[in-house]
Structure 1
Amino acid sequence: MTEIYRWIEQQLELASNECRRLFHGRGGYFPGYESLVIDWFAPVVVIRLYDDVPPELIDSLASFFRARSGVQGVVLQQRGRGRVTSHETLFGEMPERLVCSELGLHYAITPAQFRNTGLFLDMRHGREWVKQQAAGSKVLNLFAYTCGFSVAAMAGGASSVVNVDMSKRALSIGRENHKLNGHDLSKVSFVGHDMFKSWGRIRRSGPFDLVVIDPPSFQPGSFVADNDYLKVLRRLPELTSPGARVLACHNDPAHDVSFIRNLVEEVCSEFKWKALLNPQSDFPDRQPERGVKAMVFARSD
């Protein structure tokens, strides 16, 4: 555990008061700890377990964080496919809601209520890219969740953003996130809609200069990448303006970057590959080509 605690200490120092992944066992970088993930939402630590671990490990982690003066509470979440998600506060006060910071922007977090806290930390580099690219652009944010990409786009000077997600609860938190950052909500739309049933409303809001696609990798009844990613990509020509840029994200370790690249070539060949965003240092992966992938394409016609 010495190496693991040294790593966590380094990540805490790098994070300061901004949210960050402190330990990413699922990347296989620390053999034997693949089921363990630890996130920092200052001043709270969220430990996630995707499989059973010895109770001694949990006790050790709780003692480690209890000894850190900046940590005010630790919550343990049990989760994983086929497992009922549960939360247990290991120590401290666990607020129902807190506001965390990332790259100077603010987001509402629920550390101990739902399966997901409200911000996916593995897309920090994607949000940073969107912020850098968004100036003057009409932005479409598909699978918007709590609108993290939208917040980044507005902070980067986007002319407008349309957020689309099936979850109206998530979009409500997204609206709150924009308010936390002082954004003009007249420029931001929140569309609680199943895009696979109809694209008309989305198309009428375009054409868009920048499109973000960040779906769940596997969520039966909502999105299964092997079947549904192609359905989204096929719509890009009718949704975008000439020269439009697309950030296509995919986090399924069963696929490497060729999965999305091949689909783009198959159904919207006018979009050309531009770049794969550099992986984040707080998400080390022994097979980086199988880790989180954020890919940039641009319309060339």
Structure 2
Amino acid sequence: MSLLNQALRAALDARKDLLAELHQQGTNCYRLFHGSQEGAGGLTVDRYGPQLLVQSFHQTLELDALLAVHETVNRELGLETLLVYNDRSQGNSRIDRQDPVYRANEAALADLTAQEWGLNYRVRARHAGQDPLLFLDLRNARGWVKAHSAGKTVLNLFAYTCGVGLSAAAGGAREVCNLDFAEGNLAVGRENGALNPHLPEMQFVQSDYFPAIRQLAGLPITQRRGQKLPSYPRLQQRQYDLVFLDPPAWAKSAFGTVDLLRDYQSLLKPALLSTADDGVLICCNNLAKVSLDDWREQVLRCAEKAGRPVREWQVMPPASDFPSRDQQPPLKTLILQL
């Protein structure tokens, strides 16, 4: 038995109780092998409903090893999953779409549906972007939102494919607004909504983060000297009962720069001001090089300076299918009671 197969079997064995719990709660999306922490750095194995997505980030996986992974997972789960292999070990984590190792069949690459917390989600192994349409390590946070949204107004910032918004709608939110710069992301969010026709309709706003959140917060939108700002949707100043802030690590636009390492405050302050009194702000930081303790202190100081001191806070760690030997997972989530 290869070292990879041994590590995979150990990982599957460690997840038996968790998978039973997830299946009972209506979830068939989860990480089966977290290679960086379980013996094969740069390799991940994820289940998205009927699909098994294997991705390598450091080096290409050989065909025999890939097929052995697929066989082991199928035997353990008692399923015939549809295999897709994305080799992202070449420059800049781009998917090798030539499929020199393994070419997935049409059924595996078709639009599929998977479930989390009893909700339906669109699954596509290959699409215009690079990452899967549902980030699995945020599952616990989406579950918290679903359990705490009844009767609330919810603002989902950097909404991506709107999983947090969908969870809020399922939890009985009075109003849900999903905001993202990319129309393609929001289009998938609309698909997710259509896959759950029993839920109330959500709102979708396509906008750069900075002009949108600064309008909601009642802050001016500054113009760089000599530069004309692009057009943007006009929004009224208002606050929401629950705000979810999950920015990418880095992004730049004409309105500002998203930089989780050097300037989280410029993202956080207007989000704080857009959160109602006695409301909740959930904020995330996915940079591995940022420690939870340092970032938490930075967040609490920023809230104090913004005049929105935090009354209570709690850390929401990823579930155990994302193990962390040092208890410092890359994704850090804080739930702030204002």
TM-score range, shorter chain: 0.7 to 0.9
Do the aligned partners of 1:45 and 1:71 also contact (CA within 8 Å) in 2? no
Please show how residues 109-148 of structure 1 align to structure 2 within 5 Å. Answer: 109-113=123-127, 114-148=129-163
- Residue identity in the other structure for 1:98: L
**What is the aligned partner in structure 2 of residue 79 from structure 1?**
88
**What is the aligned partner in structure 2 of residue 61 from structure 1?**
69
Residues in 1 aligned to 2:12 and 2:311: alpha-carbon distance in whole angstroms = 39
Residue 184, structure 1, aligned to residue 200, structure 2: yes
Find 2:164's aligned residue among 130, 143, 149. 149
- SS of 1:162's equivalent? strand
Find 2:181's aligned residue among 152, 159, 166. 166
Deviations 1:38-60 (A, max 9, x none): 11012110001111045143242
TM-score, scaled relative to structure 1: 0.88
Shift of 1:2: 2.3
Deviations 1:102-137 (A, max 9, x none): 010111111123412211000110000001111111
**What is the aligned partner in structure 1 of residue 244 from structure 2?**
212
Find 1:23's aligned residue among 6, 10, 33. 33
Comparing 125-134 with 199-208, which one deviates more in the overlay? 199-208
Question: Structure 1 regions of 5+ residues with no counterpart?
Answer: none
Comparing 151-160 with 211-220, which one deviates more in the overlay? 211-220
Find 1:104's aligned residue among 118, 124, 141. 118
Residues in 1 aligned to 2:154 and 2:74: alpha-carbon distance in whole angstroms = 43
Residues in 2 aligned to 1:132 and 1:58: alpha-carbon distance in whole angstroms = 38
Residues in 2 aligned to 1:58 and 1:128: alpha-carbon distance in whole angstroms = 32
Residue 256, structure 1, aligned to residue 291, structure 2: yes
- SS of 1:64's equivalent? helix
Larger proportion of strand: 1
- Residue identity in the other structure for 2:11: W
Equivalent pairs: percent with the same residue? Answer: 26
- SS of 2:261's equivalent? helix
Do the aligned partners of 1:44 and 1:72 also contact (CA within 8 Å) in 2? yes
Do the aligned partners of 1:62 and 1:90 also contact (CA within 8 Å) in 2? no
Deviations 1:67-98 (A, max 9, x none): 56512311111226624222445555313211
Residues in 1 aligned to 2:295 and 2:237: alpha-carbon distance in whole angstroms = 25
Residues in 2 aligned to 1:278 and 1:239: alpha-carbon distance in whole angstroms = 25
Residues in 2 aligned to 1:121 and 1:115: alpha-carbon distance in whole angstroms = 15
Comparing 225-234 with 196-205, which one deviates more in the overlay? 196-205
**What is the aligned partner in structure 2 of residue 284 from structure 1?**
323
Do the aligned partners of 2:152 and 2:242 also contact (CA within 8 Å) in 1? yes
Do the aligned partners of 1:256 and 1:289 also contact (CA within 8 Å) in 2? yes
Residue 38, structure 1, aligned to residue 38, structure 2: no
Deviations 1:118-161 (A, max 9, x none): 11000110000001111111111111001000000011111101
- Residue identity in the other structure for 2:334: M
Comparing 222-231 with 7-16, which one deviates more in the overlay? 7-16
- SS of 2:208's equivalent? coil
TM-score, scaled relative to structure 2: 0.79
Comparing 176-185 with 12-21, which one deviates more in the overlay? 12-21
Deviations 1:174-199 (A, max 9, x none): 112122112222xx211110122453
